[in-house]
Amino acid sequence: MNVVIYARYSSDRQTEQSIEGQLKECYEYARRNGYAVVGEYIDRAISGTTDHRPEFLRMIADGDKKLFQAVLVYQLDRFARNRYDSATYKAKLKKNGIRVLSARENISDDASGVLMEAVLEGMAEYYSVELSQKIRRGMDINAEKCLSTGGNLALGFCVDSEKHIQIDWDTAPVVQKIFEMYASGQSMADIIRYLNANHIKTSYGNEFNKNSINRILRNKRYIGIYTYRGTETPDGLPRIISDDLFYEVQDMMDKKKKAPARAKAFENYILSTKLFCGYCQAAMTGISGTSKTGTKYHYYQCVTNRRDKSCHKKTVSKAYIEDLVIKETRKLLTKENIDRIAKEVVRLCEQEKDTDNLKRLKKLLKENERATENLFKALESGQIVDVIAERISQKKQERNELEQQILVETSSHPTPTVNEVRFFLNQFRKGDVNDLKYRQALVDTFVNKIYLYDDKMTVLYNTQDSHSDVTIDDLSSSRVVLVEAGGVEPPSENV
């Protein structure tokens, strides 16, 4: 498995581990678990109050190239500024089959925090909610930017004499019709046929084709989002399509799009990064091999065992152990448990709302109010009016900016309601145990770690104080002799 290391150093934290120290632990962890380090991303001496992390963003972007399957950090708090960011970026990486691993687990991670993050991450993925976009939202709310900048407008819009973008009532119904046809399941060809039969043209005056329909169905301007140089301004335009219809169509289109080539081999082993050898604590990773009869077998093997046989853990059949973990995990999902977990997650979300940055902004706002008050007092005592008035106006502007930033900070952390979380978790009760995606989501959300012995396993869950010990009485399925194992030595039996 290929991994990259992300390290970050905040100059304002006294107990901070140095970059070199972080790297050392990460390399050690990678070596122990048989991972190949293929890259380093390092953000040095960055103050905790800013979020300027160029290397971090480069790492996220590089994820698209699918050259690595995991990001290794010294400690999970190195990965992101807060759990919301963490959940968002993790969901983003996961789309490329990439996980985040911590070299120093169980030291700073409290179980319920991990669960909350897992749930937020799952929800971010499940609802395709781009939390990071919400952060950007409002950042630059500037009404002036929502004016037409010239060039071609999307179908359904026109410009008034003051360059304001308005709904064009002649063509907006066409846009609505296109969305509705697509949502009702009609094909691109159906839509094109309909439009051409009615002599409706694109905003460039051409006949419609697949590309132009695609562009319309993907255009966020129809839900009122004005985009300019990568900045999105919600409600910057009059809306033509409802959010419900728009996002329904996005989901349908995403599903039709061919799934990207993923790091398949890694991803299909749903316990990767969670399954550990009970005897030597090293990771157990997936291997496959072909038997004499030509049947392909999949296993998890202790990496120490694979490396030098100094650990005697037997290899275990992938299907067997995964089924067992799925079965055990589903036992957690009682109505009472889901209710309890949902409440706990929402409570933690509320608690985490008061981030350092928000506290700092609120403090600045208080100072601003005090300063303004003093200026008014000075005014009353008869000091030079012009100068004071100028400074009051400055303070007022500063105050507006602070309030804006506080708004952004608060809205970037949308707290889900108990009902929303409960709804999300309830999906897991109904899921199809044979669906790979479901199995993966179940493990990702609830399972923290599994220690596997030859005769039992201990599953640690992301819910507080929750674990189960399972006796394993049948490992016979792992005793198939391999004749060839894809470049890897056949697993030893060690009976």
Catalog residues that contact Zn ion under the rule CB under 5 A. Answer: 277, 279-280, 302, 304, 311, 313
How far is residue 168's CA from residue 148's CA, in Å, rounded to a whole number? 14
Considering the complex, state which of residue 206 and residue 310 has its C-beta at the smaller distance from Zn ion: 310
Considering the complex, state which of residue 60 and residue 325 has its C-beta at the smaller distance from Zn ion: 325
* Residue 165 · residue 153 · CB < 8 Å: yes
How far is residue 41's CA from residue 100's CA, in Å, rounded to a whole number? 14
Residue 164 sits at φ, ψ, to 5 deg, of -75, 140
What's the closest the beta carbon of residue 472 comes to Zn ion, in angstroms? Answer: 15
DSSP letter string over 426-477?
Answer: HHHHH--TT-HHHHHHHHHHHEEEEEE-SSEEEEEESSTT-EEEEE----GG
What's the closest the beta carbon of residue 278 comes to Zn ion, in angstroms? Answer: 8
How far is residue 61's CA from residue 57's CA, in Å, rounded to a whole number? 6
Nearest to 415 by CA among 42, 84, 25: 84
* Whole-Å CA distances, 164 to 143, 147, 153, 243: 10, 5, 12, 22
Positive or negative: CA dihedral 358, 128, 136, 162:
negative
What's the closest the beta carbon of residue 310 comes to Zn ion, in angstroms? Answer: 8
Considering the complex, state which of residue 233 and residue 304 has its C-beta at the smaller distance from Zn ion: 304
What's the closest the beta carbon of residue 312 comes to Zn ion, in angstroms? Answer: 8
Considering the complex, state which of residue 7 and residue 277 has its C-beta at the smaller distance from Zn ion: 277
What's the closest the beta carbon of residue 316 comes to Zn ion, in angstroms? Answer: 12
Considering the complex, state which of residue 153 and residue 280 has its C-beta at the smaller distance from Zn ion: 280
Considering the complex, state which of residue 32 and residue 330 has its C-beta at the smaller distance from Zn ion: 32
Considering the complex, state which of residue 218 and residue 309 has its C-beta at the smaller distance from Zn ion: 309
Considering the complex, state which of residue 4 and residue 452 has its C-beta at the smaller distance from Zn ion: 452
What's the closest the beta carbon of residue 281 comes to Zn ion, in angstroms? Answer: 7
What's the closest the beta carbon of residue 435 comes to Zn ion, in angstroms? Answer: 31
Q: Give the contacts of 188 (CB within 8 A, at least 6 positions apart).
A: 182, 210, 213, 214
What's the closest the beta carbon of residue 245 comes to Zn ion, in angstroms? Answer: 53
The Cβ-side half-sphere exposure at 220, using a 13 Å CA radius, reads 12
Which segments of 33-82 does DSSP mark as H helices, in order? 54-62
Tokens standing for residue 261? 């080539």
Residue position matching structure tokens 């009472």: 336
